[in-house]
Amino acid sequence: MARRVLKLTSLVAAASGIYLYGNKFLDPNDFGVVRVGRAIATTAIISYDYLSSLRSVPYGSEEYDILRSQVHLRSAERLRELCCANRGTFIKVGQHLGALDYLLPEEYTRTLKVLHSQAPQSTRQEIEQVIREDLGKEAKQHFSKKRGKSRFNEHCSSERQLKMEEQIKIKGKELFVSFEDTPLGAASLAQVHKAVLQDGRTVAVKIQHPKVQAQSSKDILLMEVLLLVVKQIFPDFEFMWLVEEAKKNLPLELDFLNEGRNAEKVADMLKNFDFLKVPRIYWELSSRRVLLMEFMEGGQVNDRAYMERNGINVNEISRNLGKLYSEMIFVNGFVHCDPHPGNVLVKKCPASGKAHIILLDHGLYQVLSESFRMDYCHLWQALIKADMKRVQKYSRRLGAGDLYPLFACMLTARSWESVNRGIDRSPVSASEDVEIRSNAAAYLPQITQLLNNVPRQMLLLLKTNDLLRGIEAALHTRASASSFLNMSRCCIRAVSTYQRSKSHSLYRRAQISLTESLSLWQINLYELFLWLKGSHLGKLVLAVLSRMHHSMY
């Protein structure tokens, strides 16, 4: 009898489990033991692969380099599969690693980049749950299928059905006229839907994945433990900075009210740039997990073909993006640190004909201290002028120590030869780009040591630099002279403002202002020279001068 009861109970439990899983009520990823077991197994396999595959091969040999590349690729693919399976925090950390183009081996960055397009999507039921819990709203699915007489009407009707528009009600009052079920985009922590409010405003609704909040702290603890274990096996493995950054930044990113405040702050801070657009936040309809904002659309900033189709000047966009980030980093010390192409859109205004840059996703910002910002300004001024003594001085002040040449290469993504020659003297060649990427694998222990030693503020700046360089590479505007000129202007303004604030002498402040004006004037003259040199008028003037010179001799 007892056996029959046990057998019947087992069958009922199994059937219930299958039913719940099939109806999306039960997800194996919700169980900590599944997530932990998967992470431990992946870490063990990767560690064993490195230990066993490279043990008997002479270090530095050609065979070693080939084998190491193969192990890097296998490990990166396993890490990607782990991130996709565990989702949430794992995808967020994987995306961070994938953005470090010139700091990690190419096998890792290339493989992990796909995580930007493979983020999970929450179901409609999960979205409704978050809205209900945070805003007290009930979501009721509403299908609208109008019968038309023509094929055109039938097509439009089917399109509406595919969008699965829903009406969301709050205490009996409808909030949205329509709400598209298919998200505009899904990220590691949230997804965004297009909707229309009762007053006709089109809005973007950002909704946090319901399980991320509960799982994030446990996931970070798990990563910390695994990284400590790996460090015992591989003493040169220094990736604790990654966990420290996740610990600090993830709670801020999970608070959408904080994101809204960041958006308003940066919009006010950069209001002098008329080409910048930041979506307006609708505070009365927002919470820690739901953010309603003005709907804005455009092409991704790395889509050169889109810009050419829409008559947008690619060089102007690249130049304006550089202006934005130079202002944020050097002048204000408040930096949007996630400028991947999905978060930076471009659109041509039909009325004015001007191209706008739309900055989205304001969850991740880095606040720079005044001392750090000044050292960073001085370092970039030294790099642009190829002043190696000052490069060494300010690199050391930022924690690079004797590894300052490597640090300079990491910051600029240029070879040490180019840094010595002057990074604004020549564009990045294909061979130099390959050299930098291969060095990321060869000097990985030194790079991770540097990342552990530099101030924590530097880590997100390095990621931001690499993301911006990726955009410039896609637009073919990398290492342009104009970008360095804009950086120089911002550095001069930032240093001069700081010096004036510390001076109590009226004469000294006037002297600083005069020096600042002369330096900016020199940059303007040089920029004019470059423009004339590249313009038809400039070429004509140079040709006339050349002929006059030849006629004199």
Residues marked as catalytic = 338
Q: Quick count: other Cβ atoms within 10 Å of Cβ 258?
A: 16
Closest CA to 95 of 408, 353, 354, 466: 466
Report yes or no: 101 and 466 within 8 Å, Cβ to Cβ: yes
The Cβ-side half-sphere exposure at 111, using a 13 Å CA radius, reads 21
Q: How far is CA 134 from CA 128, 137, 287, in A?
A: 10, 8, 6
Which residues, listed in sequence order, are joined to residue 186 by a DSSP beta bridge? Answer: 191
312 φ/ψ angles, rounded to the nearest 5 degrees: -100, 130
Q: Whole-angstrom Cα distance, residue 232 to residue 174? A: 58
Which residues, listed in sequence order, are joined to residue 138 by a DSSP beta bridge? Answer: 169
Closest CA to 281 of 257, 297, 300: 257
Q: Quick count: other Cβ atoms within 10 Å of Cβ 426?
A: 12
User: Taking the CA atoms of the chain, what radius of gyration do you get in angstroms?
Assistant: 27
Residues 484-508: b if buried by 16+ CB within 10 A, e if exposed: bbbbbbbbbbbbbebbeeeeeeeee
Largest Cα–Cα separation, the chain: 118
Closest CA to 488 of 384, 387, 375, 374: 384
Q: How far is CA 438 from CA 7, 65, 422, 428, in A?
A: 60, 10, 21, 15
How many residues belong to the chain?
Answer: 553
Helix axis angle, 481-502 relative to 506-534, nearest 10°?
170
Q: Which DSSP letter does residue 281 get? A: B
Q: Whole-angstrom Cα distance, residue 241 to residue 448? A: 9
State the residue for tokens 């996740």: 246
Which residues, listed in sequence order, are joined to residue 277 by a DSSP beta bridge? Answer: 358
Q: Whole-angstrom Cα distance, residue 335 to residue 411? A: 16
The Cβ-side half-sphere exposure at 504, using a 13 Å CA radius, reads 0
Closest CA to 317 of 331, 294, 299: 299
Report yes or no: 335 and 460 within 8 Å, Cβ to Cβ: yes
Q: Whole-angstrom Cα distance, residue 549 to residue 306? A: 45
Report yes or no: 174 and 167 within 8 Å, Cβ to Cβ: yes
Q: Quick count: other Cβ atoms within 10 Å of Cβ 431?
A: 9
Closest CA to 210 of 368, 392, 11, 27: 27
- Residue 226, H or E segment: helix 212-233
Residue type, 410: M
Q: How far is CA 173 from CA 167, 351, 515, in A?
A: 10, 36, 63
